[in-house]
Amino acid sequence: MNDLKLGINLVDLDPKYVGGINTFAKGLIEKLKLKNKILILATEKNYNYIKKHINKKNYYFLIIKKKNFLIKLLRLLSIILKSKFIYKTSVYIEYSNVTKEINRDCNLFYCPLTNLRPLNLKIKTITSIHDIQHLNLPENFSLFEKNYRELLHSTTISNSSVIQASSFFIKKNLIKFYSDKIKSKIIVIREGVSQKFKRKNKIELGNYIFFPAQLWPHKNHLVVLQAIKIINQKNNIKIKLIMTGENFKNSNKILEFINSNKQLNVKYLGKVNFDHLKELYKNCRFVISPSIYESSSLVILESIKMNKPVIASNTAPNVELSKFFKINYFETKNATSLAILILKIWNKDKLIKAQIKFNKKKIHLFSWDYIAKEYSKKFTKIIKN
């Protein structure tokens, strides 16, 4: 590992965004243990945030300047015209002042935030692609968004030496929508979970289901809400549901459902701070991770770390985790299936405690310390091949 000289692009890390992709980047980079110093690409906007929240002594920084008018214009034209050439030109110009230093000081460059930039490096590159949702659920995106995402993904896939996926589902998904030829350069390394969620052995069973997720369509809020309503109407049982997460576009149906069904015991708290988030995990009975599409579920890992049982949709990445954990699955788009499952397990204290104890034995395999070692091994192998 002494030979590894790593560069990492954190230019796209948005300090205001609280979500899986930022959690992934911070969790991994904080635990990477390399002999040599790590070069970090940052912006004037996120430099102080990175220094504060990813506290490592062996960093040195290169600052990418704010996009000028020409770069913004080229980027816009590349999307409108769906032109890879114009997009690449905009990236070349944007990173022109740092490319030479990266080539000189690094022998591997890593982009954890989906997009490979710069595109013209002479050294090997690895990019983490977290999803290609625009191809699986195109109805969730505007034409402009789909064009831009496709430019980013196609250029990243063709120009990266190695692609990292967090589940075998994402690997198969990339091959399905792009090419069987990229199979050999995709590696699967799972995501980790922060030690900040660690709890003592005490098991506490609360009285509500906790649903932490941004209000995006693929998070499947309406199926969860419909299941709660089915339980209330058909069984005259009020299951309490607490939801957190930012309110983005396309969330009107979710909020309308809550407002028009005030007889249900549903609370939407919006964005909450980390301490509040941990309290909500700590005091719930179950955590639910019902997404329609996901690369992997950080919520499942956080729940298990917090000694909580999990209800999850039976999407491929969630089912992959059954190799390690006991998870309660329902049919992803079937509210009745979810309602039946909730009623079946709600009062099964013995089952719940058994699942918690079983899962606790395996969660160490998903600590960032453990996962970061896997990355370090792969990084070293890449530069030697």
Buried b (16+ CB within 10 A) or exposed e, 164-199: bbbbebbbebbeeebeeeeeeebbebbbbbbeebee
Residue ranges of domains in the chain, CATH in brackets: 6-192+367-384 (3.40.50.2000), 195-366 (3.40.50.2000)
Strands 59-64 and 108-111: unpaired
Determine the pLDDT at residue 1.
44
Name the residue with tokens 């919006």. 270
pLDDT in tens, the chain (385 residues): 458 999 999 999 998 876 678 888 888 998 998 889 999 999 999 999 998 888 677 889 999 988 999 999 999 999 999 999 999 999 999 999 999 999 999 999 999 999 999 999 999 999 999 999 999 999 999 999 999 999 999 999 999 999 999 999 999 999 999 999 999 999 999 999 988 898 777 788 899 999 999 999 999 999 999 999 999 999 999 999 999 998 876 788 999 999 999 999 999 999 999 999 999 999 999 999 999 999 888 999 999 999 999 999 999 999 999 999 999 999 999 999 999 999 999 999 999 999 999 999 999 999 999 999 999 999 999 998 8
Nearest in space to 314 (alpha carbons), one of 297, 266, 206: 297
Please state whether 236 falls in left (phi above 0), alpha (psi between -120 and 50) or beta: left
Alpha-carbon distance 211 to 303, whole Å? 11
Given a contact cutoff of 8 angstroms between Cβ atoms, the answer to whether 349 and 205 are in contact is: yes
Supply the DSSP symbol for 138.
G
Q: Which tokens go with 205?
A: 């069973």
Q: How far apart are CA 174 and CA 32, in angstroms?
A: 26
What are the CA-CA distances from residue 51 to residues 40, 42, 56, 195, 330 (Å)?
Answer: 10, 10, 8, 19, 42
Q: What is the dihedral of CA 98, 102, 104, 108, to 10 degrees?
A: -170
The CB-side HSE value for 295 (13 A sphere, CA atoms) comes to 22
Amino acid 53: pLDDT? 81
User: What's the confidence (pLDDT) of residue 2?
Assistant: 56
> Using CA atoms, how far apart are residues 167 and 24, in angstroms rounded to an integer?
14
Supply 285's token pair: 């009975």
